[in-house]
A and B are shown apart, each in its own frame.
Chain A
Amino acid sequence: KQEVTQIPAALSVPEGENLVLNCSFTDSAIYNLQWFRQDPGKGLTSLLLIQSSQREQTSGRLNASLDKSSGRSTLYIAASQPGDSATYLCAGTPSGGSYIPTFGRGTSLIVHP
């Protein structure tokens, strides 16, 4: 059974810092890996989707990488801003059998001015 772990659970940084959020998964038979952002009491907003054949995806100040062999994905946020404060979740979709994604518990990020 796939398990997805996100470390750290919480992170507080000053504005302007570059930061890395980590996502680890136990089963490398992964079809894609999706990163989401969730603001308090709201739904999840899709940030980036990386297919298993890709190594990374970029959108603005965000860059996500995927290394299936090591079971890791990272989300890099450049020049963080207070508006980046939210919980970031990753979800891995298996390539075989059930195609239901497994979600991590998320990293709660606070960017203070």
Chain B
Amino acid sequence: KAGVTQTPRYLIKTRGQQVTLSCSPISGHRSVSWYQQTPGQGLQFLFEYFSETQRNKGNFPGRFSGRQFSNSRSEMNVSTLELGDSALYLCASSFGVREELFFGEGSRLTVL
């Protein structure tokens, strides 16, 4: 059974650019959530999707957005990148609400 797959694993962007990250959840999982991890702030919740609907959103600016497709795959987008957006972006999937979370390997974003 395949795990959570995130692409790309590594990427380098410059300030002002935008980036799209992709996440394929475990087959059968309908909930996908995104987290930002930095050494200074730890793991911070970005947003959570279930059946193509965003049900929860963390305290991040509107430059951070996401969506979920009918096959449960999810993307997140960050526009007008800032240096502070450099982080490991993690995607997690679960079968449903309050179920066990399974994480992908993450996408390491570096903003220059």
* Total A-B residue contacts, Cβ distance less than 8 Å: 45
Instruction: Judge whether B101 and A46 touch: CB under 8 Å.
Output: yes
Encode B6-18 as 1/0 by CB contact (under 8 A) with A.
1000000000000
Given the known A-B contacts A41-B108, A43-B106, A89-B43, are A98 and B56 also in contact in the complex, defined by CB atoms under 8 Å? Answer: yes
Interface residues on B, range: 20 to 34
Q: Does more than half of chain A's interface fall in helix, strand or loop, or is it mixed?
A: strand
- In the complex, what distance in Å separates the CA atom of A45 from the CA atom of B4? 11
> Which residues of A lie under 8 Å from residue B45 when comparing CB positions?
100
Task: List the B side residues contacting A106 at CB < 8 Å.
Answer: 42
- Give the contacts of A28-68 with B (CB-CB under 8 A): 31-32, 34, 36, 41-46, 49
**Bound Cα distance from A44 to B33, whole angstroms:** 13
SS of B interface (majority): strand
Q: Which of A41, A99, A105 contacts B97 (CB 8 A)?
A: A99
How close is A80's CB to chain B, nearest CB, in angstroms?
Answer: 23
Is the pair B33, A43 in contact by a Cβ cutoff of 8 Å?
no
| Interface hits, B78-112 → A, CB 8 Å | 88, 90, 92, 97-98, 100-106, 108
- CB atoms of B102 and A46 under 8 A apart: yes
B13-68 contacts to A (CB < 8 Å) = 33, 42-43, 45, 48, 56, 58
Q: Are A101 and B101 in contact (CB under 8 A)?
A: yes
20 additional A-B residue pairs with CB within 8 Å, beyond A34-B101, A101-B101, A103-B42: A32-B98, A41-B88, A41-B108, A42-B105, A43-B4, A43-B6, A43-B90, A43-B103, A43-B104, A43-B105, A44-B90, A45-B103, A49-B100, A93-B98, A99-B56, A99-B97, A99-B98, A100-B45, A100-B56, A100-B58
